[in-house]
Structure 1
Amino acid sequence: MQSSLLLRVGLLALAAVQTTNGWNPRYVHNLLTPFSRLGMFQEIVWFVSQKESVDELDQFVRLMGEAFAGSATQTVVSNNTEMRMNRSPAKRNHISFVFTTGVDDPIMEVFRKVLLGRHFYFALIMPLQKVDMKDMKPVYDLLRFAYDEQFFNSMVYFETKDGFNQLFGVSKFPSMKFDNRTDFMRYFAHASKQVISARSDVEGFRFATPLRQDLPHLFESRGRYEGSTYRIIDTFVRFINGSFRELQQPPDALGGRVINMKQALQLVRERQVEICAHAYALFRADDQLEKTYPMLVVQWCLMVPLYNSVSTYLYPLQPFDWTVWFFVLGSFFALICLELLWLKMFGPTMPGVHAAVLCSFCYIINVPTEGQLQRPSLLRFLLLFTVFFHGFFLSANYTSTLGSILTVNLFHAQINNMDDIVRAQLPVMIIDYEMEFLLEINQELPDEFHKLLRPVDAAIFVQHQTRFNSSFAYFITEDNWQFLDEQQKHLKQRRFKLSNICFGSYHLAFPLQMDSSLWRDIEYFTFRIHSSGLLNFYARSSFQAALHAGLVERIPDNQEYTAAGMQHLAIAFIYLLVMSAIAAAVFTMELLNCLVFRNH
């Protein structure tokens, strides 16, 4: 009760001295008090010009603060351009008051920067001087500022020299228009209806945007534009009663129409493009550019070629890893050592070293000798029992794995990490402006890998990548890979694979002007797209459209496959011949040695 009384006294005092100021405190209080009771604003931001000092301004700020005391905190800003409300702990909905001497007042730049990312919310711009209705230029200048900086839900409030209170705003669609919003409740009801329905009406506005080749997101097929993400944004634009208008760009390096996303993003920053029809993931939002609500989270990885780098002569070695072969040989020598120990313990009546080696070899291939079975000792019984399990599982695994390998006459050497890329010295192709992004986010790339990077124009990159030129590895996002992989899914032996060499996950979204009035509409629309599954449907159908346009093709399967034959086992016969030759040489040496011994 006492607070209400103080508020009325303060307003009467302000009304008594407001003969020269361009605003009426009582009018503003009566206009906004209903919102304080509804608790619609959780933060009040005051932007106060330093050019003029108004005695009653401090009292007005205190009184408005008392009116919203139950629901809002307050922040006063005068010259801090580094502050950002979207980074502060303040709650989402807020109201701003701007006391200014005009559009050239430094407080307007402070107002623009501090509320960056929050221009959508309500603000009241209040000139400090009364306005002559015959000369509305100061008001129109403020409205043009609001138009340029996307303050479409803000208003310019002023009092005329005749004592009338006026509210003016600006509309963007279908063209810039200054609106008299003095009937505030009517305007508020209309704006609330749009917010609740999440559907603006741009009244046929044509959004300028590049429309270039950007597989799989956007491309031209049979006289119309197609693409997985373009069909989504095109549906949204038609949903708000608008359309796209192509913004012409120069040809690419090959004279074609491949999109250069660096140029497209710059057009958005320069406010030539409101929303870009090309979805993109590899960029960061800044003070001039932001992203719509993301449609996907995609990884950025390398697609690498699959090589037949293993000769068929080495197939018998492939069933086991080198460590397994090491343990096999280790077991062989361990058995030899046991045989030698056995000979030393039981004297010369036992067979010699040659017999020990031969027995060990028989153990390792699970072929026991006749002499061992006729005179089985306890040690040999344990050895045979152990080697039985060893040889059984080893030979069973070897023969089954080798049989599987022989059914396919190609054995792929996989490239799965950065060391494999460096070891193979495989050049890695990347778009020039994406290389800048890569080096920005990965400043500690190995020098050996950095030397393999080949930055090229976007058109050259697309030409090599879509044709699966196996001379290079390529940077690619996950959704692009799923599209290109359709070209080779029918092949028994694919040409490329998506490796495990990745450089982070990013949001696939549409580039949008900072503080665009469309951000909330497209956010709600994207929610519906996710729930309906349209994105997956458009992604599947985009390949067929690109196939009809001749932009991609199903790679023909020209390789002839033959069943496993004797040519696959050539190495086995080579080993047999080599061992036979060695055995013959050893036998000859033993004969010569025997003859020499007899002669002496």
Structure 2
Amino acid sequence: MPLATRLLLLLLLVTTCRAGFEDLAFMQTVTRRAADEQPWTNTPLFVSYPMAVEDLNPFIAWLHNNLSVTSYVFDGAPTLASMPNTYNPLRNHIKTDALSLVFCYGSEEIIFWHVDERLRKLRSVRLIVYLSSRRHKSALNLLFLKLWNMQFLHALVVHQHKIYGYNPYPTLRYFELQLDDRSKVLFPAQPRDLSGYVVSTPAENDLPRVFLVRDQRTGAHLIRGFGYRIFAEFLRRHNARLVISNAGRELAAGTSVDMTYIHQLIGDNRLEITMHPYVGIDRQLGILSYPLTIAQNCLIMPVRNEIPRYMYLLRPFHWSSWLLLLAAVAYISLALHWLGPGLSASPGLSLLEALCQLLFLSSPTRIYGPSVRYFLVALQLSVLGFIVTNWYSNQLSSSLTATLVGEQVDTFEQLIAQQQRILVKHHEIPMLLQQVPPHLERQVSYLVVGADAGEQVRALLSFNTTYSYPFTVERWEFFALQQQYAQKPIYRYSSVCLGAPVIGYPMRRDSHLESLLKHFIMRVQGTGLFQYWLVSDFNDALRAGFMRLIDNSDNFKALNLDTLRLAWYVLLCGWLLAALVFVCEH
């Protein structure tokens, strides 16, 4: 190699080293300024070309000695030991009072993949990116775009002894900061005013969370549902603008949103957040917001086993109470036979006297000069007869004003015994079977029928009692308003439950809206608007034709011979018993 070439390479090496040392000295100045504003305890360092970990050892030692921080160094080497563990992120080991440092040559390097994975759920921490001085200033735009795609809001870029910050609202723009200007902080707090930031999301039917209705006066499409109301009010409160990506699209009343497709859009970063609340999202695709509610997920069962009207006479008392009353008749008969001065000669008369006392009827005999014991017993029996007869008549009158049903399905065993089929969305079948007791999972799986989301909703709204439907309690409260005036309900919310899922807004991982939305949802829950919107939206759904009130009240039914069938049975048994006694006495 010629001597001139060697001298040139040596000169370049010396110049590069001097520039590197000068850049590290400037980085020390920047980190010192950041520490003066707000100290921190943990410093993750991500090192890439042209820096090496060995080149940063003096800088790391300076951090330890002067700022008393702990450092975590990652060089992005493609080794198994250096690969991030998604189930054990850095968040599990450090607090949020951290400042991360990234040394890179450009935004396209693999080190940013390590930054993205290792700083999962740590997007609120401060971040300083050192961009190599060899790069032109034009690389800043792509670098800030990369940081915004990873949702870092508190980020600075150090390039050629200058500091740059950025603001993504309403569109991304970066600007230079003056290190000597102490009137402005390097890392301002997250803005609450989003300055007209545009949030685009589709809106489809998903009763009662989101659904579309048509204004009868203007013909315009309006969006209703507590999911939409909370989301729209949140954006309005923070000065953001909502854009419906599928505006103008006609949706039939029986259609329902495809959440699998929505989740895939979020996972592909084609959708930032959706207004459709849901019970979960794959952790590789996105996250859920702070819970709107934690609701029981149980089966909506058709009401069956209506009791014949002639059996209503037995309903006021439990079978054990009837047995107790029969035993009471026998016991009272013996007591009256022993205490009654005029009844000792006739056991049958004592039995008749006991029945009269228990039914609060007048005595068939007249007692002259009763003893004190007999008087006290007769007084107690009168009170007992009054309570029993009035209790029975009140319970019977209540039963005759409603339709009584027998035992309903409230366990998995009863579900299997009655072979009650369950209509479930295709993608929710695995989640449903996970909640079934293991020893019954195979039997329940035979009862599960897969369907599209729209098909399931249409079957429920058309009152198809062939199936049962797994729905959360807030959906049930909405659908149950249809039968609030019905004498005979069609559906009931059973005790066959499949867990209590968290319902929130699916959004992209580490979304910049997560913190703002969390505090807004907490305020909504505290004011009771959630329940208010749930009821008010039912009226809109009723006018739009999604819902209808069930009026299946029974017409007036007079008491006929069939209604009193049980009473005729009792009378017939009494006649037969009386005839038998008459024959035996003669």
Range class of TM-score, shorter chain: 0.7 to 0.9
- 1:241 aligned partner: 240
- 1:165 aligned partner: 161
CA contact (8 A) 1:429 1:453 kept: yes
Deviation of 1:230 after TM superposition, in Å, equals 0.7
Q: How many residues align?
A: 553
Deviation of 1:485 after TM superposition, in Å, equals 2.4
Distance 1:234 1:60, change over 3 A: same
Amino acid at match of 2:394: S
- 1:9 aligned partner: none
Establish whether residue 426 from structure 1 lines up as the match of residue 425 from structure 2.
no
Which residue among 186, 195, 201 is the counterpart of 1:209?
201
- 1:3 aligned partner: none
Which residue among 403, 413, 419 is the counterpart of 2:406?
413
Give the secondary-structure state (helix, strand or coil) at the position aligned to 1:229: helix
With the length of structure 2 as denominator, give the TM-score of the two structures: 0.79
- 2:95 aligned partner: 91
Deviation of 1:512 after TM superposition, in Å, equals 0.9
Matching of residues 116-515 of structure 1 within 5 Å: 116-127=120-131, 130-133=133-136, 142-143=143-144, 145-158=146-159, 164-168=160-164, 172=168, 179-183=174-178, 189=184, 195=190, 197-203=191-197, 205=198, 207-222=199-214, 223-238=221-236, 239-247=238-246, 257-280=255-278, 282-284=279-281, 286-307=283-304, 309-332=306-329, 373=367, 390-406=384-400, 408-413=401-406, 415=408, 417-418=410-411, 421-422=415-416, 424-441=418-435, 444=438, 446-447=440-441, 449-515=444-510
CA contact (8 A) 1:298 1:508 kept: yes
Alpha-carbon RMSD across the aligned residues, in angstroms, is: 4.3
Q: Quick one: distance in 1 between partners of 2:176 and 2:29?
A: 16
- 1:26 aligned partner: 25
Establish whether residue 520 from structure 1 lines up as the match of residue 515 from structure 2.
yes
- 1:81 aligned partner: 84
CA contact (8 A) 2:155 2:187 kept: no
Amino acid at match of 1:224: L
- 1:549 aligned partner: 544
Q: Quick one: distance in 2 between partners of 1:250 and 1:480?
A: 25
User: After the TM superposition, which of the residue ranges 112-121 and 355-364 deviates more from structure 2?
Assistant: 355-364
Q: Quick one: distance in 2 between partners of 1:427 and 1:505?
A: 21
User: After the TM superposition, which of the residue ranges 542-551 and 103-112 deviates more from structure 2?
Assistant: 103-112
Amino acid at match of 1:122: R
Distance 1:536 1:514, change over 3 A: same
Q: Quick one: distance in 1 between partners of 2:184 and 2:301?
A: 57
Q: Which runs of 5+ in 2 are unaligned?
A: 1-13, 76-81, 215-220
Q: Deviations over 1:173-207 (max 9, x none)?
A: 55566x35454688995986662x5122255x3x3
Deviation of 1:263 after TM superposition, in Å, equals 2.0
CA contact (8 A) 2:126 2:187 kept: no
Q: Deviations over 1:441-487 (max 9, x none)?
A: 55647345554443322111111222333333322222222222222
CA contact (8 A) 1:42 1:93 kept: yes
Deviation of 1:113 after TM superposition, in Å, equals 1.2
- 2:78 aligned partner: none
Give the secondary-structure state (helix, strand or coil) at the position aligned to 2:20: coil
CA contact (8 A) 2:287 2:509 kept: yes
Matching of residues 53-64 of structure 1 within 5 Å: 53-64=52-63
Q: Quick one: distance in 2 between partners of 1:352 and 1:421?
A: 55
Q: Quick one: distance in 2 between partners of 1:259 and 1:586?
A: 74
Give the secondary-structure state (helix, strand or coil) at the position aligned to 2:536: helix
Distance 1:241 1:367, change over 3 A: closer
Q: Deviations over 1:42-78 (max 9, x none)?
A: 4322234599645441221121233332xx5444445
CA contact (8 A) 1:308 1:410 kept: no
Q: Which runs of 5+ in 1 are unaligned?
A: 1-14, 159-163, 343-348, 595-600
Amino acid at match of 1:400: N
Q: Deviations over 1:400-428 (max 9, x none)?
A: 3223323x152133637325545554333
Amino acid at match of 1:514: R
CA contact (8 A) 1:23 1:130 kept: no
Distance 1:278 1:522, change over 3 A: same
Distance 1:231 1:571, change over 3 A: same
Amino acid at match of 1:410: T
Amino acid at match of 1:470: T
CA contact (8 A) 2:353 2:364 kept: no
Deviation of 1:309 after TM superposition, in Å, equals 1.4
Q: Quick one: distance in 1 between partners of 2:500 and 2:183?
A: 41
Give the secondary-structure state (helix, strand or coil) at the position aligned to 2:35: helix
Q: Quick one: distance in 1 between partners of 2:39 and 2:487?
A: 62
Deviation of 1:375 after TM superposition, in Å, equals 10
Give the secondary-structure state (helix, strand or coil) at the position aligned to 2:564: helix
Give the secondary-structure state (helix, strand or coil) at the position aligned to 1:435: helix
Distance 1:402 1:142, change over 3 A: same
Q: Quick one: distance in 2 between partners of 1:559 and 1:230?
A: 39
Give the secondary-structure state (helix, strand or coil) at the position aligned to 1:236: helix
Distance 1:367 1:198, change over 3 A: same
CA contact (8 A) 2:422 2:469 kept: yes
Establish whether residue 115 from structure 1 lines up as the match of residue 124 from structure 2.
no
Give the secondary-structure state (helix, strand or coil) at the position aligned to 2:128: strand
With the length of structure 1 as denominator, give the TM-score of the two structures: 0.77
Q: Quick one: distance in 2 between partners of 1:152 and 1:131?
A: 26
- 2:8 aligned partner: none
Q: Quick one: distance in 1 between partners of 2:248 and 2:118?
A: 34
Q: Quick one: distance in 1 between partners of 2:312 and 2:558?
A: 15
Deviation of 1:362 after TM superposition, in Å, equals 6.3
